């Protein structure tokens, strides 16, 4: 199975090829850069197996503050959820952020506020 960050394979914007079993599957979320994602499966005549299963959801993108990458530095930076015109986070969000720092560093996080529904 190969995932493309586009509506066609010609654009050569592959997000990765995944085969074998779940041990080889990525343990992270795969996000498209826009509204299109192409899933391509190719088989041969040798082996048949159980196939694949994907779960997908549409959500706000990085441009709207939902997910993305943050590079930590030696200065505190603010990371917050997206907000609508009323100052609340929109319904049905699925956001993920990757925070990375310099090699051989540790990351410190300070939570300055939380206002969400209870789990």
Q: Please report the pLDDT score of residue 100 as a whole number.
A: 86
Residue 90 scores a pLDDT above 80: yes
The share of the chain scoring above pLDDT 90, in percent, equals 1
Q: Which two tokens stand for residue 93?
A: 């969000």
Q: Please report the pLDDT score of residue 1 as a whole number.
A: 81
Q: Residues 63-68: contacts with CB within 8 Å, 24+ apart?
A: 66/93, 66/94, 66/95, 67/31, 67/95, 67/96, 67/97, 68/97, 68/98
Instruction: Report the candidate in 11, 4, 10 with the shortest Cα–Cα distance to residue 38.
Output: 4
Task: Return the residue matching tokens 């540790």.
Answer: 106
Residue 99 scores a pLDDT above 70: yes
Q: How many Cβ atoms sit within 10 Å of the Cβ of residue 10?
A: 8
Sequence spans of domains, the chain: 1-56, 58-118
pLDDT in tens, 4-33: 888 777 767 888 888 777 666 666 678 787
pTM score, whole prediction: 0.55
Per-residue pLDDT, averaged over 104-113, amounts to: 86
* Mean pLDDT, rounded, of the chain: 81
């Amino acid at each position: 199975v190969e995932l493309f960050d586009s509506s066609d394979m010609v654009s050569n914007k592959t997000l990765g090829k995944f085969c074998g079993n779940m041990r080889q599957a990525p343990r992270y979320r795969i996000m498209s850069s826009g509204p299109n994602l192409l899933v391509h499966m190719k088989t041969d005549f040798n082996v048949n197996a159980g196939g694949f299963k994907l779960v997908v959801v549409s959500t706000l993108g990085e441009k709207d503050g939902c997910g993305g990458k943050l590079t930590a530095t030696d200065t505190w930076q603010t990371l917050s959820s997206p907000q609508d015109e009323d100052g609340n986070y929109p319904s049905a969000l699925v956001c993920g952020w990757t925070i990375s720092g310099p090699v051989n560093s540790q990351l410190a996080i300070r939570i300055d506020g939380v206002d969400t529904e209870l789990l």
